[in-house]
Structure 1
Amino acid sequence: MAEINIPIGPIEAEPYDAIRKGPGESLTAANRTALSTALRGLELGAYDEDIVGWLAGWEPSVVAVVCAWLHRARAAGPIPAAPGHRGGPELDPAAEAETLAEQLRTWQADNDLPTDAQVWTRHGTGPWTPIRPVEIGEAA
């Protein structure tokens, strides 16, 4: 059986001895055990499992660092939503769309870009000129 000793704090040097395979066990199996422990309680999909398998093929010290991050993230608890947080139950799609539209208009104005619904081109530093009108929702 694998011997797993994942660091609990910030890692300053490569943790060579954090994951050791047991007698007759492969490094991949030992790594998978460490990852499974770090991911315990999480629902994983098929692609998640594929990535666990992929990570298990890396060097044990790399897997140990990833496991340490997962353990430390769990210990830290939920992360408060940052300004501009996208997602979560408090998401209001209409307000989000308006916020993004306002950010786009501000960026266009700040960068002297056209703001109407036309496809524009610019040659070198010359003026912006329309190529053809575009209907809202039409691919340019």
Structure 2
Amino acid sequence: EADNLIPMEIALKVASKIRARKRFAVYIIIPMWPEGSPYSAAAQEILFWQNQTMRMMYKIIGQELRSMNMEEAHPQDYLNFFCLGNRELLNGDIEQNSSQVLPEKYRRFMIYVHSKGMIVDDEFVLLGSANINQRSMDGSRDTEIAMGA
């Protein structure tokens, strides 16, 4: 049972816009992996549940597209997840048994994004510090701030 209903609400909002035949798109920036080693058991569990959440959201959107006979459309026309990365030059000083071998091999390094923003209908912007996770949304744990304009 999920406590954080924000992903469900986002998917249902997209579905309602599909039903109304209104153009609507959601772009979500997430890190490539949680803080720490991407190979740790804790990070792998977070990535597993993150993947399950994304699949649930795409399933809701896909079902709505089918119910509206919009088979030519794809859920990614409405919902996309991105992570920021940087490609760098090879560093010959990495030990072969290091956890840095794969990132070095592919020269991809995560840019960890801490800013949060939402643009609504090209008219309203909300910028703040809250993540879309239970800890930030709980109201009794982390202290968050935001501003709307």
TM range (shorter): under 0.3
TM-score, length-normalised on structure 2? 0.17
Q: Which of the two has greater helix per residue? A: 1
Q: Which of the two has greater strand per residue? A: 2
- Choose between structure 1 and 2 for higher RCO, CA contacts under 8 A separated by at least 6 residues: 2
